Amino acid sequence: MHNNTHLPKRNFKFKRGEFYHINNRGLSKKKIFYTKEDYEWFINQISIYKKKYNIDVICYCLMPNHFHLIIKQTGEADGSK
């Protein structure tokens, strides 16, 4: 799961005080989480990025082939980076 593949940046700016639903699913509905460690790694990444981009994670749901995040942009940092 943890390869260093990066997608192109989108030209979208998160607005302070707004809520966003973020989701992603594996290609062809394939798994993106295989082990307990994959889930733990992803949760750790959420913790790192919420501090970096000044967001609150309201809730999340991790499934074997996809995830959902509800976030709120709380600070000046642009969460779209």
pLDDT in tens, 38-50: 999 999 999 999 9
pLDDT above 60 (res 1): no
Task: Report how far residue 33's alpha carbon sits from residue 38's, in angstroms, rounded to the nearest whole number.
Answer: 5
The residue behind tokens 């082990």 is 35
Write the pLDDT tens digit of every residue in 68-77: 999 999 987 5
The structure's pTM equals: 0.76
With contact defined as beta carbons under 8 Å apart, do 59 and 4 qualify? no
The residue behind tokens 């000046």 is 76
- 3-class secondary structure, 11: coil
pLDDT above 60 (res 2): no
